[in-house]
Structure 1
Amino acid sequence: MPPGAIRRAACASASRSSSVPDLAGRGVLITGGGSGAGADLARGFADAGARVVIAGRRQGPLDAVAAATGAAAITADVTDEASVAAMFDAAGPVQIVIANAGAADSAPFARTTLEQWNAMLAVNLTGVFLTLREGLRRLDGWGRLISVASTAGLKGYAYVAPYVAAKHGVVGLTRSLAQEIARGPVTANALCPGFLDTEMTDRSVDNIMRTTGRDREAALKALTATNPQRRLIAPAEVTAAALWLCGPGSEGINGQAIAIAGGEV
């Protein structure tokens, strides 16, 4: 079983909350829907009765999630304005937009290249801007705009300055957008999970092992040490928060950066 698969299988076997809202008749577009948190969001929203559309750059992973959830799959590049517009054209009417697509890279600050900087801002910040802007333009009445940021949007981490800068930008963007739309039936919020039990974190563990010589257990411990609960966050916890933001009683939740991190921030 690949690294992290045992942990993820255990999380997947847990039942979802009985307070999941009924989203029948709602359309949801999830970027970065082919893996990690995006794939779990697709499952969760499909279980809640929503019409789910997932988007990403890799057709294979999208098709796998679509087959498992009944979602429609669209290939798109969230860093490209025309591609984002075409993505919404193909998705059809949606009331919930989740800007989840992202990527991570690491390097000491002094050795971080301009190419790395631009790449991190393009997918993690510009991609969120283009997705939420087009989503807002397409809304007709009630809506929910959700960005998936990170605890890196609320604090600093060493060796990932461009990623941290981009995620801080996502939180600021979301808060600013929330002020503009506050008088209508649309809200905008950011979800800020800590290290997630996903493929991206597996790659971070591999990088720690490669650069420090630690074994996998020690490398994973270095990541979970930032969480007071000493664990990775399950993607299902992000999905539960997103579903809550789309259910009754969440109308007053607007412009928030919701940490899902065991008390880290």
Structure 2
Amino acid sequence: MTDMEIDLNADLGEGFGIWRLGDDEALLDVVTSANVACGFHAGDPVTIRRTCAAAVDRGVAIGAQVSYRDLAGFGRREMEMDPEDLCAEVLYQLAAVDGIARAMGGRVSYVKPHGALYNRICRDPEQAEAVVSAVLDYDQSLPLLTLPGSAVHEVAAREGITTVTEAFADRAYTPSGALVPRRSPGAVLHDPGAVAARAVRMATGHVVTAVDGSQVPVEARSICVHGDTPGSVRLARAIRDSLAEAGVTLKAFT
């Protein structure tokens, strides 16, 4: 048994107009932090408002899930952008979601880039600088949620922005600790038992098994389950229950 605490986050608010993706309300009954889509890869004003209101009602922390402007590609297509443009677009998204969250009685308490932007700032200091600059312009107290070993950690530390590391229960890992690209077979995991067991190992043993069978260290304060993964509610509940059985308390990192 352990007295450890860990956050469980999910990507939410990823519908658009009449199109719905995932079961946001059911996930909000399970997770402790909600990464709310800001309208650039998914989401629209009504969806953002509803998601923020539901999160506030449940005491779930709200994060701004900023992205490339890529509705057609769900933010999963990497883009070359001028740093000033990227900074402004991240700032725009952050301000929009925080404004709606505050109107609903809450606030944005962290920032988590989505999809291709998330992966890009893990290795690209220039785009990492643009994202960090946007957070710095808006609210220096907001932490950035990212992978361990990312380029953004060094950039953020230089600018006085806190970074928080996360691990992914429903994604496969490479031996280097990166996520297996989604286009590769087996990149997304769907079995609740396997996903829950991985989450417990991440939280208590700080390790995950990579696709080649090697053991990769993962120091994480938060664990992510993707809201768009089929069966995500079942996965999240299995993770929550297994963590509780292992003596791990779910608590928002903010």
Q: What interval of TM-score do these two structures reach, taking the shorter chain for normalisation?
A: 0.3 to 0.5
Structure that is richer in helix per residue: 1
TM-score (norm 1): 0.38
TM-score (norm 2): 0.39
Bigger Rg over Cα: 1
Greater relative contact order structure (CA < 8 Å, 6+ sep): 2
